[in-house]
Structure 1
Amino acid sequence: MNDVVVEDWIEETTPFERVYEIIRSTYDPTSASQIADRARVSPTTARKHLRSLVDTGEVTTSQDGQTTLYRRSETGIVTEHAQSLLAERTPEEIASGITELKAQIQNWRDEYGVDSPEELARELDIEDADSESGTLLREWQTTRRNLALAQATLAIAEASRTGHLTGTDTDDDSNSDSSIVV
């Protein structure tokens, strides 16, 4: 990065914000020292903030000998995607999209006589990922991932709507059920 940009970043953000910004793009296990270098904080400061993020579920850890490695958690990734999707689409639009994704997956299952892209790959013995079959496998895997994210988003929207996420829910859910069924 340009030194001026780095100086501005350091001046305009807190150490926590910098560690959080770095970890949000860290998908491979990375040491606190490496994160500290990138966030322009001390390793001690990075570890402190990373422990807080582990406690909130944003970050997961693993061990490499004596070194604790940190990376973005699956929960954090799903939550971010869900928030983004909910900002762009209504729950009804998401439910409609889920129906379309399920139909596409069912079409592939019917057409190829298998239940998953992995099963199709075993049957075809695909070695060339750039082939037409490889493209189909990647598209099926992406569609399956998008379906899971859309379903999680809808569940988060429903939990938020009913107050289950904030603890403001009531036990009177039986009187009105306007949840979206897919």
Structure 2
Amino acid sequence: MANESNGTEQASLTRGERVRAAARTLRTPRTASWVADETGVSVKTAQKYLEQLVEDNVLQKIEQGEQTLYCVDQLMATYREVAALQREHDREELTTAAESIRSKITDWKASYDVETPGELRASIADLDDSDEIETRREAASEWEHLNDRLPIVRAALNEYDWAAKRDTISV
């Protein structure tokens, strides 16, 4: 098995659990053969569980020539993330999170006199101070992360009432 560091943990999981766990991390499209190698199962077993995950809208299947590739269905993952935010946080907490994200980004723009995380990363080329370089790298990385998070928080807020009405169980 390619992932020896998790050998003990992997051994306690069933074949299906190993494939499902590996599949949920597929940001780069991979073949069933690759997943089989990573999880220590046959290609046929990997294909079986990967196809189930495609049917469950967890994975996306991509036909590329003669190859079939699988990766996380980002649209569905985003929907699940929005739903989780709506269930775990009230509207005020989500509003505060959005404000905090915008405030941090505004502060970085002002502090470093840049408009994007890419510009902040580019500014590192002009520096000699290793502490300042690391500080800017960390800020750029967090800025990129927050740029990805903000639309998800906004979506959770935009559809909060709609989701709350549909998330109640009728008895």
- Please tell me the TM-score bracket, short chain as reference: 0.5 to 0.7
User: 2:45 & 2:138 partners in 1: Cα distance?
Assistant: 44
- 1:60 & 1:84 partners in 2: Cα distance? 21
**Unaligned stretches of 5+ in structure 2?**
1-6
Q: Which amino acid aligns with 1:132?
A: T
TM-score, normalising length: structure 1: 0.63
RMSD: 3.6
With over 3 angstroms needed to count, the CA separation of the structure-2 counterparts of 1:56 and 1:155, relative to structure 1, is: farther
Q: Of residues 115, 129, 133 in structure 1, which corresponds to 2:136?
A: 133
- Deviation (angstroms), 1:137: 1.5
Q: How many Å apart are 1:62 and its aligned residue?
A: 4.1
More helix by share: 2
- The runs of at least 4 aligned residues of structure 1 exceeding 6 Å deviation read none
- Partner of 1:51 in structure 2? 51
Aligned residues: 159
**Cross-structure match for 1:32:** 32
Aligned to 2:97: 97
Post-superposition shift, 1:64? 5.7
Unaligned ranges ≥5, structure 1: 169-182
**Could you tell me the TM-score, scaled by structure 2's length?**
0.66
In the alignment, which residue of structure 1 is the partner of 2:73? 73
Correspondence list, 1:1-182, <5 A: 1-2=7-8, 6=11, 8-10=12-14, 15=16, 17-39=17-39, 41-62=41-62, 66-122=66-122, 124=123, 126=125, 130-155=133-158, 157-163=160-166
Q: Secondary structure at the match of 2:71?
A: strand
